[in-house]
Amino acid sequence: MELALLGQGPRAETMMRSAMERGKWVFFQNCHLAPSFMPSLERMIEQIDPDKVHRDFRLWLTSMPSPKFPVFILQNGSKMTVEPPKGIKANLLKSYSSFNDDFLNSCGEKNQTFKQMLLSLCLFHGVVLERRKFGALGFNIPYEMTDGDLRICISQLQMFLTEYDDIPYKVLRYTAGHINYGGRVTDDIDRRCMMSVLGEFYCPDILNEEHKYSQSGIYKQISPALDHHGYMEYVKSLPINDTPEIFGLHDNANITFAQNETYALLGSLVKLQPKAASGGGKSREEIMEEAAKDILSKVPKPVPIGPVMEKYPVLYEQSMNTVLVQEVIRYNKLLKSLHSSLNDLLKALKGLVVMSQALEDMANSLFNNMVPGMWSGKAYPSLKPLASWVLDLVERMDFIQNWIDQGIPPIFWISGFFFPQAFLTGTLQNFARKKVISIDTISFGFQVMRETAAELSSGPEDGCYIRGLFVEGARWDITANMLTESRAKELYTEMACIWLVPEANRKAPDTGIYRCPVYKH
């Protein structure tokens, strides 16, 4: 077999032509990294004459999924896929299958410590990989951790145990969490989460033979006196389906996982759906027309900006006037695009105007209950399907219209803002101008209110009340005035109203708080 790393195009061509004559095997690695070579490779394969090529010639190609990989080669070749193991048990089996007794006893006097920490590290590797299946509950971004990350951590563990008298937990956590695994993590919140998880697997407690990694004790430390066979037997005794407790998650996380799998399946079915409607029922065009007319009947027309600017002029003392005008301008751009494109689509369906590619894409989105790209590009971030998105837009416009008609509300629906950052800045600006201090020295303090939104009839003297936040993975207990565990089968709960209190030179408390990230959904 002759092997070539792609990036060596001319050498690869020469090697392949020689192999076809001599009956050699050729192995081209990492085809996804050489998209410019793919047309040449496709042309060479198309020109192969089975009657003139040596019968022992074989061409092997490896590639990650890539849209640049030639379809012709895929259709005419034999395909094999290498999929990562699913589940913590499968990951542990894969890891420990590559070990032996000599390896487990490679740290001399610290063999037992190495065995215990190795099991803990392999468990951490499995947890990090499998957290991805829970979507945003696991990590904001599904990172591609590899066996190479685990191997370098194991090598470092061996080195530090051999060279240090005391176990340098801080160094081990830093190298694993910030460099090896953490080198792939780009989100600060994900990094914080990973370091928190790692702290459960790289700590002095794991050297206790009775240590449990999960509350049920299914995942636990075992006797380091066991040999490789004993460790394999323990791994084989673990359940195939992981329980959320090993990930530090509530049982509701399994519901989220099942939903994600279902949505992915249904999304694939929608993409495979033929564009031509079969017999019976309404035609595709009729469904699109009904959807367009229904949306036009529900969504209000753009708000006249002149009267709004006249009623809410720019005032030094009240930044909320400017915030409102900016919100109206942003929503108007979206509403104009929505009404204009829907009217054009209705005309195109009747044959009055040409059905452009943009209109056809929008029509397909309406048929599939998806938000058209020409709208989402001008709208606020949202993951809702079309029907829910339209209802949400109507509710947002009601919030804006009530503000215009009735004045500044006592409590703000923060989810209704197109650009909530401007609202938050405006609140700080009001406080800064009132107190005549620099806005750079001000930040928000937070007080969760016991009163409901209906009971808050007037706004606070400083700052503002907000509603419309939801908590995932926990819930707010109004009686105890603290975060607590979710109820069974309750994926989301509405957060209590919060008073955003502007404070000069604020220092956040070190204890008693959780720095909770907030996301637009």
The pLDDT of residue 11 is 79
232 and 101 assigned to the same domain: yes
Domain assignment present for 499: yes
Average pLDDT over residues 23-28: 89
- d(Cα 63, Cα 42) in Å, to the nearest integer? 14
Write the DSSP assignment of 205-258 as a string of letters: GGGSTT-BSSTTSSSB---TT--HHHHHHHHHTS-SSPPGGGGT--TTHHHHHH
Question: 3 falls in which pLDDT band (50, 70, 90)?
Answer: low
Length of the chain measured in residues? 521
Domain assignment present for 500: yes
Whether 73 and 61 have beta carbons less than 8 Å apart is answered as: yes
**pLDDT above 90 as % of the chain:** 71
Domain assignment present for 275: no
Provide the 10 A C-beta neighbour count for residue 3.
Answer: 11
Checking DSSP bridges between strand 442-448 and strand 58-61, what pairing results, if any? Answer: unpaired
- d(Cα 259, Cα 135) in Å, to the nearest integer? 10
For tokens 């105890």, name the residue.
480
- d(Cα 453, Cα 464) in Å, to the nearest integer? 12
pLDDT, tens digit (0-9, with 9 covering 90-100), for 489-499: 999 899 999 99
- Neighbour-count burial for 138-165, b at 16+ CB within 10 Å, e otherwise: bbbeebebeeebbebbbebbbebbeeee
19 and 129 assigned to the same domain: no
The pLDDT of residue 301 is 95
Give the 3-state secondary structure of residue 80: coil
- pLDDT beyond 80 at 8: no
- pLDDT beyond 60 at 279: no
Question: 280 falls in which pLDDT band (50, 70, 90)?
Answer: low
The pLDDT of residue 7 is 58
The alpha carbon dihedral of 214, 215, 219, 222 has a sign of: positive
341 and 398 assigned to the same domain: yes
Lowest mean pLDDT among 320-334, 471-485, 507-521: 507-521
Residues near 52 by Cβ (< 8 Å), separated by ≥ 6? none
Lowest mean pLDDT among 26-30, 44-48, 268-272, 432-436: 268-272
Domain assignment present for 263: no
Whether 255 and 491 have beta carbons less than 8 Å apart is answered as: yes
- d(Cα 329, Cα 308) in Å, to the nearest integer? 10
The pLDDT of residue 2 is 59
pLDDT, tens digit (0-9, with 9 covering 90-100), for 174-200: 999 999 999 999 999 999 999 999 999
The pLDDT of residue 508 is 84
- d(Cα 206, Cα 199) in Å, to the nearest integer? 11
19 and 140 assigned to the same domain: no
- pLDDT beyond 90 at 441: yes
296 and 350 assigned to the same domain: yes
The pLDDT of residue 328 is 97
Number of domains in the chain: 4
Tokens of 145: 């951790």
> CA-CA distances (angstroms) from residue 325 to 300, 321, 331, 417, 459?
17, 6, 10, 12, 20
- pLDDT beyond 60 at 409: yes
pTM score > 0.85 for this model?
Answer: no
- pLDDT beyond 70 at 278: no
205 and 229 assigned to the same domain: yes
The alpha carbon dihedral of 157, 159, 161, 164 has a sign of: negative
The pLDDT of residue 85 is 84
Domain assignment present for 47: yes
pLDDT, tens digit (0-9, with 9 covering 90-100), for 39-83: 988 998 998 888 889 999 999 998 888 888 999 999 989 998 887
- pLDDT beyond 90 at 509: no
Whether 63 and 82 have beta carbons less than 8 Å apart is answered as: no
418 and 404 assigned to the same domain: no
The pLDDT of residue 268 is 83
Average pLDDT over residues 133-156: 92
Name the nearest CA neighbour of 198 among 216, 213, 210, 212: 213
pLDDT, tens digit (0-9, with 9 covering 90-100), for 369-402: 999 999 999 999 998 999 999 999 999 999 999 9
Question: 13 falls in which pLDDT band (50, 70, 90)?
Answer: confident
Question: 4 falls in which pLDDT band (50, 70, 90)?
Answer: low
> CA-CA distances (angstroms) from residue 355 to 168, 350, 352, 426?
67, 10, 9, 44
421 and 387 assigned to the same domain: no
Whether 144 and 184 have beta carbons less than 8 Å apart is answered as: yes
Name the nearest CA neighbour of 496 among 466, 518, 517: 466
**pLDDT above 70 as % of the chain:** 97
The pLDDT of residue 277 is 52
248 and 99 assigned to the same domain: yes
Give the 3-state secondary structure of residue 471: strand
- pLDDT beyond 60 at 307: yes
Average pLDDT over residues 457-469: 94
Whether 173 and 153 have beta carbons less than 8 Å apart is answered as: no
457 and 513 assigned to the same domain: yes
Whether 394 and 400 have beta carbons less than 8 Å apart is answered as: no
Name the nearest CA neighbour of 45 among 5, 73, 69, 86: 73
Tokens of 466: 């907000």
The pLDDT of residue 501 is 95
Name the nearest CA neighbour of 382 among 335, 336, 333, 415: 415
300: CATH: 1.20.1270
Domain assignment present for 36: yes
398 and 413 assigned to the same domain: no
Residues near 231 by Cβ (< 8 Å), separated by ≥ 6? 96, 99, 104, 115, 119, 222
Write the DSSP assignment of 152-164 as a string of letters: HHHHHHHHHHHH-
Domain assignment present for 267: no
Q: At which of 408, 443, 459 does a domain end? A: 408
The pLDDT of residue 10 is 76
Q: At which of 214, 236, 253 does a domain end? A: 253
The pLDDT of residue 12 is 81
pLDDT, tens digit (0-9, with 9 covering 90-100), for 92-102: 999 999 999 99
14: CATH: 3.40.50.300
Question: 31 falls in which pLDDT band (50, 70, 90)?
Answer: confident
Lowest mean pLDDT among 82-91, 175-184, 356-365: 82-91
Residues near 375 by Cβ (< 8 Å), separated by ≥ 6? 334, 337, 338, 341, 362
Whether 143 and 267 have beta carbons less than 8 Å apart is answered as: no
Name the nearest CA neighbour of 379 among 389, 370, 368, 366: 389
Average pLDDT over residues 418-423: 95
Q: At which of 408, 427, 452 does a domain end? A: 408
Domain assignment present for 242: yes
Average pLDDT over residues 159-175: 94
450 and 512 assigned to the same domain: yes
Domain span holding position 6: 2-76
pLDDT, tens digit (0-9, with 9 covering 90-100), for 247-265: 999 999 999 999 888 988 8
Q: Higher pLDDT residue, 260 or 292?
A: 292
The pLDDT of residue 6 is 52
